[in-house]
A and B are shown apart, each in its own frame.
Chain A
Amino acid sequence: MAPWGSAGKTTPRFLGQFSHYLFRYATWLPVLIAFNSYVAQVTWIRGPSMYPFLNPQYNESLRKDLCLVSKWSPHRNLERGMIVVFRSPENPHVTVVKRIVALEGDVVRTKPPYPYEHAKVDVGHVWVEGDGDKTKDSNYYGPVSTGLITGRITHILTPLDRAGRVRWWEHAEREGVQKAQAS
């Protein structure tokens, strides 16, 4: 018997056991929160912005991809091609999934909504874009600070035919990115 849960003799038996188990499971909640914010998390992908890589059937079915997000040291060792999860610069309560196109110091040939033809990515920022056409990305709100990045997508869990590790390094590089000298 757990020492804290042995209900007092005056408590009815059901209430005593119920509160005991409630307390016992509730003490795991902080662990779950810490795990989700620092180790890994499982999320559904919503929206078409990463079409065809994620949610390839977004306009045919309601099925959504289930992905594993690694939350371990999200700001470090970022590479072009990685799929990252970050808080939207437009609304901090919305989390978005995009692919890193350029790192700090790179010069990017931008796409239409951006007001200038070329953009140099600032220090401590990355240029993110969705794979599909329906995407609101750095061409809309500019480079994203790495401080906003909360994780990166490492695995697809469902659907099972595409399940497996995300091989971001095999993804074709985007044209029009002039890499910085250092890297």
Chain B
Amino acid sequence: MPPRFRPSFFTSSTRPLLTPKPNSTPLQIRLTSNKPPTPPLLLSQRLHALSTRLTNRARTSASHFLGHPLRALAFALKFLAFGHLLMEYGIWPRAVAGPSMLPTIAVAGSWALIDFTHRFGRGVQVGDLVAYHIPINTQSGLKRVLGMPGDYVLVDTPETGGETMIQVPPGHCWLIGDNLDASRDSRLFGPVPLGLVRGKILAIFQPFRSFEWVKNPMLAQ
């Protein structure tokens, strides 16, 4: 097959090289191809070309996996790992239950929008709601931050307990439920390492009923 784009002076021509064409300005040399210019495509033609290209591409992608189990496996692995990455480090709703946060969160039926970028206590302030791994078992909990490293906190329940105050050790936080009577929190298991903090609660909602952004009472004057 001959090359398609060939300058005019290589093609067989009866005219001698570098001679002006009959009806043109004298010093002009034709460097374009000899092919007649293609007319611009109609819109319908372009759509047809696009659909053909897309279906061809779909066909190739199906055959890309069909005879190749390893390729399909690798694709599934990548897909799952990417999903896991999003689940682990993104912002996701989780169902929450229990009486320990009662004025703020109902006993059942509530969901919390958790920002997992605040894991390990990154950017968490006193007054925030955090989700955390309970230090004495393998479950997760949701409590309010009463003290960050260096803060002084009351060890026992106010009014009914003792008056002792301790300083929260470095790398720990003091977590307390809003419903003091029905909450197992730092009064029971002491300061919680920030490494167990999973994320910060952005909003509390009940699907199709209510949605409320969580405001930090220490910041909202």
- SS of B interface (majority): helix
Measured CA separation A127–B81 after assembly (Å): 34
Stretch at the interface among B90-98, B104-112, B192-200, B202-210: B192-200
Cβ-defined partner of B81 (8 Å) among A30, A91, A122, A123: A30
Q: With a CB–CB cut-off of 8 A, which chain A residues contact B81?
A: 30-31, 33-34
A64: CB under 8 A from chain B?
no
Chief secondary structure at chain A's binding surface: loop
Q: Which of A111-119, A141-149, A169-177 lies on the face that meets chain B? A: A141-149
* Known contacts A87-B193, A87-B195, A148-B196; A122 and B136 CB within 8 A of each other: yes
Q: Chain B 181-221, CB within 8 Å of chain A: the 1/0 string?
A: 00000000100011111000000000000000000000000
Report chain B residues within 8 Å CB of A123.
Answer: 136-137
Complex: A1 Cα to B189 Cα, angstroms: 58
Interface size, B (range): 20 to 34
Given contacts A27-B78, A30-B78, contact A91 B64 (CB under 8 A): no
A162 to B77, CA, bound (A): 35
Residues of A within 8 A of B172 (CB): 89
Q: Which residues from chain B contact A31 at a C-beta distance below 8 Å?
A: 77-78, 81
Question: Are B78 and A93 in contact, with the CB atoms below 8 A?
Answer: no
A125 to B82, CA, bound (A): 33
Given known contacts A3-B64, A27-B78, A145-B136, A122 and B196 CB-to-CB distance under 8 angstroms:
no
Q: Give the one of A89, A123, A124 with max B CB within 10 A.
A: A89
Contact (Cβ within 8 A) A3 B57:
yes
Are A3 and B135 in contact, CB atoms less than 8 angstroms apart? Answer: no
Interface size on A, residues (CB 8 A): 27
A30-B85, A122-B189, A147-B196 known; A91-B170 Cβ under 8 A: yes
C-alpha gap A96/B81 in the complex (Å): 26
Interface, chain A (partner B; CB < 8 A): 1-4, 6, 27-28, 30-31, 33-34, 75, 87-93, 122-125, 141, 145, 147-148
A-contacting residues of B (Cβ < 8 Å)? Answer: 57, 60-61, 64, 77-78, 80-82, 84-85, 120-121, 133-138, 169-172, 189, 193-197
